[in-house]
Every structure is written in structure tokens, then in C-alpha cells.
Structure 1
């Protein structure tokens, strides 16, 4: 199997698992599991393909839908065995984010040949599914957590794009970029890496503006 396609399948499966885990935390029925797993698994890639103006990947290849369904059913019957489902959700999300940041960048390069567009597509593909999952499940958004999140997707997408432009074979570029994205996000989860937050300041009074 093509390594990039395998990476795509893996990213969909891992993100689908995070959606199903979110469903388990809300104690909803199997249809809810299937829905959240599906939305999370294919949400980012759907947005990417719509922006790029190409056929949506899971419409062209329904295997992605079957992967999401299989993962949702598997989690439905096993989630109760997991000690901390939210911690597992965060780490699986980190794996999915790393994989999708590369897959999104790869597709962006193939379709447009533009490095900036490829990097943006990588970030969108990696983050949008998780945003939808948290919004629909009523979970605290990963974007609002204090540690680095989007930056890790940016690191993975930029690394893959630069290595690809340097003519490194795609499988090696993908492996290196996935590792970079996961190490950044994993380090943020383990050590709390973050950027300095914005500090609110009083606004200027109208009479002070000249």
C-alpha cells in the first residue's frame, strides 16, 4: 500500500477513535458513536477538499466511511475498559493531528503546487475534525487548552512541504514530518509547552485619542 495512503487511513482511524471516545464520555447511543466518529474522522479532509475544489475524498473512496464505522463500533464495546478516556483522547488526537498535518500538506502540494497553500491545508486538515468533535460533544475545545496545539500541525505541514520541495522521497519526508508534529504536540501535553498568553489592558478613553 502507498505509504501516504496508509498514513491517511491511519489518521482517519485515530481521529474517528477520538470522536467515539468523546461519545463514550457523554454516554450516548451507538448512532451517536457512529456520527461523532465519522464527523471527526473525515471533517478536516472534507473541508480541505472543498476549499481545493476537488472531489471529497470519502465520496470517491467510501472505505474511509467504513473505517470510521468500524472504529466507532470497536470503541463502543471497549471504552469502559479504559482508565482515563480524556487523556487517551488527547494522545490519540496528537497522533491524528500529526498524520493529518502531513496528509493535508501532501494533497495541497499535489493539487496546487504552492507551498503556502500546502501548509495551510495541512493545518486545516489536522485541526478541523477535532474542533468539530469538541463542539458537537460539548467538550472543552482543544484550541482553548493552554498548551501548544495548532503550532504542532503547522510544524508538521511545514516540515513535509520543505522536505518535499528539497526532493526528499515522500515516504521519508512524511515520516520525519509526522515525528516533528507529534513531538511538538506530545511535548506540549507532557511538559505544558505554551506561548505567553495575551494580557488584557484597559482600553484608551475616547478623549485620549487625538
Structure 2
């Protein structure tokens, strides 16, 4: 069954809805430039609400060790690194936090695939996202879809989660064309930046799960 992560969760009501609808992971963003940013007190409360019900992920951008320690103390189950962290830095953060790590890798052209294997060796999971424009002040795909055919060049055994421009209308195409082991959605289930819509979450999960599961499996 395709793993589904709903990112940018900021309220208990939305987290509860994700649990009821069968999402596997929820993401909490701690990055002040993001419209989905939440403080660590809120993150701690949401992590406690999700405990033993759903996997919880804290999304960080180029964090220093002090922030990593504070976020690890909130009780989240995973860290997601969405900045320019090198493979060595990913390994350092994983060891320092004592938590499994997801690394997001931006894809915009064939040359970007060279980094995927290096990060796969140190991260527990990978998210392949659209590479942001050069002038962007935030990382990530920013709701944009990249050319999925670029991923044909990856080793077929390489497991990854897909992100970037996913929504209720294209998720079935993503599953059938790319066959990732997981999907990561945020803006595609919103009415406005940071405003999750329960009905869109439900529809996204139903459409993603309507097809046969992926042949790629996480290690």
C-alpha cells in the first residue's frame, strides 16, 4: 500500500482527520518563512496527540544542533531535512538527534539525480521534490510539479517518496507513472497556503490508494 504523508499540519482537528482517513505520516513545519510554520510548543502538543496513532515528522531547514536538540525534545518520531544539508550533515543530525531522518532532494533536471544515491546511503527515507526557482526564499517545490520522466534514470530498486505539485487530480497518475513507495502532499490539499481542507485530504488518500501498490519498497 502506498505510504501517504500529509505535510504542514497545524491543528489537532486536521491531525485527527488524517488519522481517521488512514494517512501514515503527518508533517509539522518549523521554518518561519513558511505559511505552515508552527512553534515548538504547538509541535510538542501535536506530536503527543499523534503518538501511537500516526508517525509524526518535524520539517526543518538547515538546522543547527541546538534547534535539532529542541525539536527532538518535542516527541516527534522523525526529522525531515529540507535545506542544503550535505550527506555528511544529514548523518551528523541523525546521530545527534537519535531519530530517523528523511531528506528532501530537489529535482529540476537530470543532473540533480546524482545526489540521490549519496543521500540514500545516509537518510532513512528520501523525498524527491521539485527544485525551487533560484530566486525563491523558501526550499521545496512550492506547489510545483517537476518532470517525473526524469526519474526513469534512477535505479528501479531505489525507494523514494514523491512530492511537488501533487493534488487530488494528478495523484493517481503519479502512482501509476512514477510508482514511488510514498507520497508527500501539502499545498495540494489546501484552499490557501496553510489552510488544510479535510475533504481534499480524504479525496487525495482515496485516489492514491485506488491503484495497485508500488513495486518500490523502503529499505
With structure 1 as the length reference, what TM-score do the two structures score?
0.26
Scaled by the length of structure 2, what TM-score is found?
0.25
Quick check: which has more Rg, 1 or 2? 1
Query: Relative to total residues, which structure has the larger strand share, 1 or 2?
Result: 2
Larger helix percent:
1
